[in-house]
């Protein structure tokens, strides 16, 4: 899944208490770029490794979903807390702590011998990412005066975009020529460099005014609630879903009464803020759901190598990077509302193109058009969406508004992967049942296919006809996922039409 970067410089303007000289500023940029790259690369490269680790650890679809979901769950639940903790305890301290936790968890991931170990290690990785990601921009904000801050953030954004683009290609090469374990081990030397720079060259800063305590009841309730809902969807346990919904309702009640809430509900009085976050949830859910299963389709069904699968989305990331300034110009020229209506519709068209390929064919005539159109739609959407989030609240709330929007994008991906995994599995099984009922497979091959249904495209069937049935069934299930994602992207556009105000009023 692709990470959603923090919104923009307005998101971190509050709570600045100090500045550094130009020399120290360069060290701050080096530390934050390399540190953020750890989390951003990991968010994209793991998907490329899923087929390899599924085979190596004999994992089911549900288990490889948990490899991604455990990381996304702790990251989404603790993202707001990570930013607040840095303001309270020191941004350098919390950032360095996040890097250390992330590195230790990466080593654990690489050394895991069972899928359960890997899932647990990924959850700890998410905790580290929740500390270092918001800490990166907070350190930049605290280290550069306002006149230089935009340029510093632009430098940070450009370098992290390049690393996010190259990450899947490098990860695919490591998986193909070495082992899936190396996508985690490669984090260790990079983390050591970040820690060395941070400890010796980055000054400590804290916010001048910050809440005396963190909203730990909110953290516990939201983590448990989201975890229970995801568990219910992946493991088909309805009672867990009911418990999760109850916990999330309790979370809203606690936030309403808390003197220092993690989620200030008053911000949602703004129609534009509510609409922008609803758009974010739907659009990033659609994107995450399709792109999670995309490498599985490429490697297990279409026969791509890990390196080729890692490079398949490179045009998407490069297009978004190159068009970011142009997209910002759309806001100045037309306002945010019109691009937010058009962008998700273009993204929906790109997603629909992912349903066109069957089996075989050149990448350039099958998936490349889908990747390009999807990238164009997302490029049109991201900058106006960021602008709407920041303009719909007063500047004093900019930091928390950005954090909420980023958390919403993570939660959208978290829920989508769980729900669409159920959709894919159901579509796969229905298609496979039809093919088995009409095919001329021997009873032994049918029994072998039934025994490996849980592995979907990773099923190892010696019979050519049986293998073809598996591949066709996966494509059918993947198409179901794609069409649901198309509907979500269209709904995202509709929410902009209904809720985004032209004048973008602010909450005082």
Give pLDDT tens digits for 13-26: 333 444 445 556 78
Question: What single string gives the DSSP state of each residue in 397-432?
Answer: GHHHHHHHHHHHHHHHHHHHHHHHHHHHHHHHHHHH
346/492 same-domain check: yes
What is residue 365's DSSP assignment?
T
171/229 same-domain check: no
Residue 315, classified by CB atoms within 10 Å of its CB into exposed (0-12), middle (13-18) or buried (19+), is: middle
229/197 same-domain check: no
CA dist 328 and 326 (Å) reads: 5
CA dist 230 and 418 (Å) reads: 6
- Range of the structural domain that residue 244 is part of: 215-261
Asked if residue 206 belongs to a domain, the reply is no
The CA-based diameter of the chain, rounded to the nearest angstrom, is 75
Mean pLDDT to the nearest integer, 103-115: 93
Pick 154 or 451 by higher pLDDT.
451
Q: How many domains does the chain have?
A: 3
Angle at 129 between CA 28 and CA 175, to 5 degrees: 105
CA dist 364 and 432 (Å) reads: 29
Q: How many helices and strands, by DSSP H and E, does the chain display?
A: 18, 0
Residue 26, classified by CB atoms within 10 Å of its CB into exposed (0-12), middle (13-18) or buried (19+), is: middle
CATH number at residue 173: 1.20.1250.20
Asked if residue 209 belongs to a domain, the reply is no
CA dist 311 and 245 (Å) reads: 39
What is residue 60's DSSP assignment?
-
CA dist 108 and 82 (Å) reads: 22
371/475 same-domain check: yes
Mean pLDDT to the nearest integer, 457-461: 78
Give pLDDT tens digits for 152-185: 665 676 677 677 667 778 888 888 888 899 989 9
483/354 same-domain check: yes
Give pLDDT tens digits for 230-265: 888 888 888 998 998 999 999 889 888 887 787 788
CA dist 112 and 46 (Å) reads: 15
Asked if residue 35 belongs to a domain, the reply is yes
**Which of 29, 125, 134, 11 is closest to 84 using CA atoms?**
134
- pTM of the full predicted structure? 0.81
112/74 same-domain check: yes
CA dist 277 and 385 (Å) reads: 9
Asked if residue 360 belongs to a domain, the reply is yes
77/118 same-domain check: yes
């Amino acid at each position: 899944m692709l990470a959603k970067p923090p919104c923009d410089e307005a998101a971190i303007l509050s709570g600045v208490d100090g500045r550094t000289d130009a020399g120290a500023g360069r060290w701050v940029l080096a530390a934050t770029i390399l540190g953020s790259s750890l989390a951003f690369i990991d968010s994209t490269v793991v998907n490329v490794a899923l087929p390899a680790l599924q085979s190596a650890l004999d994992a089911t679809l549900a288990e490889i979903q948990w490899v991604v979901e455990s990381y996304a769950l702790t990251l989404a639940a603790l993202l707001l807390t990570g930013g607040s903790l840095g303001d309270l305890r020191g941004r350098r301290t919390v950032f360095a702590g996040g890097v250390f936790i992330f590195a230790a968890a990466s080593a654990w991931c690489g050394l895991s011998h069972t899928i359960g170990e890997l899932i647990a290690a990924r959850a700890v990785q998410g905790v580290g990412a929740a500390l270092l990601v918001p800490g990166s921009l907070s350190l930049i904000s605290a280290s550069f005066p306002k006149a230089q801050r935009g340029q510093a953030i632009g430098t940070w954004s450009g370098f992290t975009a390049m690393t996010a683009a190259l990450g899947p290609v490098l990860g695919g090469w490591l998986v193909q020529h070495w082992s899936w374990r190396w996508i985690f081990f490669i984090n260790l030397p990079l983390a050591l460099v970040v820690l060395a720079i941070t400890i010796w060259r980055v000054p400590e800063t804290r916010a001048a005014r910050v809440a005396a305590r963190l909203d730990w009841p909110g953290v516990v309730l939201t983590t448990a609630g989201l975890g229970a809902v995801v568990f219910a969807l992946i493991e088909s346990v309805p009672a867990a879903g009911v418990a999760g919904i109850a916990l999330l309702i309790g979370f809203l009640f606690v936030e309403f009464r808390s003197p220092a809430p993690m989620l200030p509900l008053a911000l949602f009085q703004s129609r534009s803020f509510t609409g922008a976050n609803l758009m974010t949830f739907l659009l990033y859910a659609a994107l995450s759901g399709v792109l999670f299963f995309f490498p599985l389709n490429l490697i297990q069904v279409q026969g791509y190598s890990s390196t080729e699968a890692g490079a398949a989305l490179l045009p998407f990331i490069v297009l978004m990077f190159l068009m970011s300034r142009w997209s910002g110009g759309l806001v100045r020229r037309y306002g945010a509302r019109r691009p937010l209506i058009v962008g998700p519709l273009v993204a929906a068209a790109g997603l629909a193109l992912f349903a066109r390929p069957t089996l075989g064919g050149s990448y350039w005539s099958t998936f490349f058009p889908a990747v390009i159109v999807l990238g164009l739609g997302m490029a049109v959407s991201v900058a106006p969406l960021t602008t709407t989030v920041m303009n719909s609240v007063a500047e004093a709330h900019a930091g928390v508004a950005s954090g909420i929007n980023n958390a919403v994008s993570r939660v959208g991906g978290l829920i989508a992967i769980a729900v669409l995994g159920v959709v894919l599995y159901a579509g796969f099984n229905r298609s496979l049942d039809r093919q088995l009922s009409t095919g001329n497979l021997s009873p032994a091959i049918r029994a072998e296919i039934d025994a490996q249904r849980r592995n979907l495209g990773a099923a190892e069937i010696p019979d050519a006809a049986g293998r073809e049935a598996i591949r066709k069934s996966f494509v059918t299930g993947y198409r179901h996922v794609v069409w649901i994602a198309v509907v979500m992207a269209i709904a995202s556009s509709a929410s902009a039409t209904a809720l985004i105000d032209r004048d973008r009023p602010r909450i005082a």
